[in-house]
């Protein structure tokens, strides 16, 4: 009987922080996006070294846009707490 009671108490004590869950899920997309941006930029610079300046500028723009998604996910997590 005590095993069942302790199991019920343990199940009732678990709380879900939806803000943390939302940010955790929101961080997956930008993490993958940033990896793709930098990976493809390195590949493009290796293929065409003369265009490295333009590729690097576009790489930072892509990084900033992907990182903005992560920051928006953080804010949304706090709003819908």
Q: Who has greater pLDDT, 40 or 73?
A: 40
Per-residue CA distances from 78 to 26, 69, 70 (Å): 12, 15, 13
pTM of the model: 0.67
Distance CA 53, CA 60 (A): 11
In tens, the pLDDT along 19-68 reads: 777 777 778 888 999 999 999 999 999 999 999 999 999 999 999 999 99
The larger pLDDT score, comparing residue 8 to residue 33, is at: 33
Q: Scan for tokens 């302790």, then name that residue.
A: 6
Sketch out the chain's domains with CATH numbers. 17-79 (1.20.20.10)
């Amino acid at each position: 009987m005590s095993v069942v009671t302790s199991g019920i108490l343990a199940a009732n004590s678990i709380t879900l922080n939806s803000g943390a869950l939302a940010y955790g899920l929101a961080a997956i997309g930008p993490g993958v996006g940033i990896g793709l941006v930098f990976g493809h930029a390195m590949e493009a610079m290796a293929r065409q070294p003369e265009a490295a300046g333009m590729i690097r500028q576009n790489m930072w723009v892509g990084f900033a846009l992907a990182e903005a998604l992560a920051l928006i996910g953080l804010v949304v997590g706090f709003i819908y707490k």
